C-alpha cells in the first residue's frame, strides 16, 4: 500500500522520484514497561538498554543499506534452519557496551509495482514468511560473503577484501560489502593492511 501511495502520479509530480524505505532493528532482552506522561496524556513506554539497541540497529540499517539488521542475541532465538538464512555483516562495539556484538541481516529482495513475480495477493495471513520472501541471494554467494567476514574478523584483511570484491561482481550494490571495504581502506590504507592492534571488531559511535 505504501509503495502504491508513493508511486501515484500526484505524489511523483510534486516530488519527482520520491520513494520510501523502511528499516527494522531486531534485538532481544529485558525491558520495563511503564506509563510516561502527565494527567492530560499518558503513553506506555518500554525502558531498557535493550530497547536502545533495537533503536540503534534500526538506524544502522541505513548505514549498511539493508532492510533488516539483527543482533546476535536476537538471532540466538531463531531456529537453526532460520539462523542459517541470516548473513553476518559485521562485528561492532559501541562505547557504552562491555562486549562486541555480531550483526546479521536477512536479505529480502526489493519489489516494485511492475514486478510480475510478486502479485498483490501474495502476502496472506498464515503463510510462511520464508516461502513468501525467500533469500535474495544464492547460497554460494552468501557462503563466499561469510568467508570474507570471517577473514575480516580474524585479521586477514587481504583475503577478506579480495572475496568482498568477488562478491560485488555479482551484487555490486550490496551495502555490507561496500561498508566493510570502506572501513578496511579507511583504517588500513589503499592496501587494506590490518593494524596490529586489531581486536576482531570495529569500535564505532555511529549508532
Q: What is the residue-averaged pLDDT of the chain?
A: 89
Q: Is the pLDDT of residue 120 over 80?
A: no
Whole-model pTM: value is 0.85
What pLDDT digit, counting tens, does each position of 145-183 carry? Answer: 999 999 999 999 999 999 999 999 999 999 999 999 999
Q: Is the pLDDT of residue 85 over 80?
A: yes
What pLDDT digit, counting tens, does each position of 31-57 carry? Answer: 998 888 887 888 888 888 899 999 999
The C-alpha atoms of residue 152 and residue 171 are separated, in whole angstroms, by 19
**pLDDT for residue 70:** 98
What pLDDT digit, counting tens, does each position of 195-204 carry? Answer: 999 999 999 9
**pLDDT for residue 117:** 53
Are 75 and 89 contacting, i.e. CB atoms less than 8 angstroms apart?
Answer: no
Can you tell me whether residue 162 is helix, strand or coil?
A: helix
**pLDDT for residue 173:** 95
Specify the DSSP element, H or E, that contains 44.
strand 42-47
**pLDDT for residue 122:** 53
DSSP 109-139: PP--TT-TTS-TT---TTS-HHHHS-BSS-H
Q: Of 31, 26, 122, 121, nearest to 82 (Cα)? A: 26
**pLDDT for residue 53:** 93
**pLDDT for residue 133:** 80
Cell of 76: 540466538
Cell of 186: 579507511
Contacts of residue 117, defined as CB under 8 A and 6 or more positions apart, other chains included, come to none
Q: Of 75, 69, 65, 66, nearest to 28 (Cα)? A: 75
Average pLDDT over residues 120-139: 73
Confidence of residue 2 (pLDDT cuts 50, 70, 90): confident
**pLDDT for residue 142:** 96
Instruction: Locate all alpha helices (DSSP H) within the chain, ordered by sequence.
Output: 2-6, 9-14, 49-64, 72-75, 80-83, 129-132, 139-154, 157-170, 175-188
Amino acid at each position: 500500500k505504501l509503495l502504491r501511495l508513493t508511486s501515484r502520479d500526484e505524489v511523483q509530480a510534486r516530488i519527482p522520484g520520491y520513494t520510501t524505505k523502511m528499516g527494522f532493528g531486531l534485538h532481544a532482552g529485558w525491558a520495563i514497561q511503564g506509563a510516561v506522561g502527565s494527567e492530560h496524556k499518558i503513553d506506555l513506554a518500554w525502558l531498557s538498554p535493550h530497547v536502545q539497541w533495537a533503536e540503534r540497529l534500526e538506524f544502522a540499517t541505513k548505514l549498511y543499506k539493508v532492510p533488516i539488521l539483527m543482533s546476535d542475541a536476537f538471532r540466538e532465538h531463531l531456529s537453526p534452519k532460520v539462523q542459517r538464512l541470516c548473513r553476518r555483516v559485521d562485528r561492532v562495539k559501541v562505547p557504552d557496551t562491555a562486549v562486541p556484538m555480531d550483526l546479521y541481516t536477512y536479505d529480502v529482495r526489493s519489489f516494485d509495482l511492475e514486478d510480475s513475480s510478486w502479485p498483490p495477493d501474495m502476502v496472506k495471513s498464515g503463510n510462511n514468511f520464508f516461502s513468501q520472501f525467500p533469500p535474495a541471494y544464492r547460497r554460494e554467494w552468501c557462503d563466499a560473503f561469510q568467508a570474507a567476514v570471517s577473514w575480516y574478523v580474524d585479521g586477514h584483511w587481504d583475503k577478506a577484501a579480495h572475496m568482498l570484491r568477488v562478491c560485488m561482481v555479482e551484487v555490486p550494490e550490496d551495502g555490507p560489502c561496500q561498508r566493510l571495504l570502506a572501513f578496511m581502506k579507511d583504517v588500513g590504507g589503499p592496501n587494506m593492511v590490518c593494524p596490529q592492534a586489531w581486536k576482531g571488531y570495529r569500535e564505532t559511535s555511529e549508532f
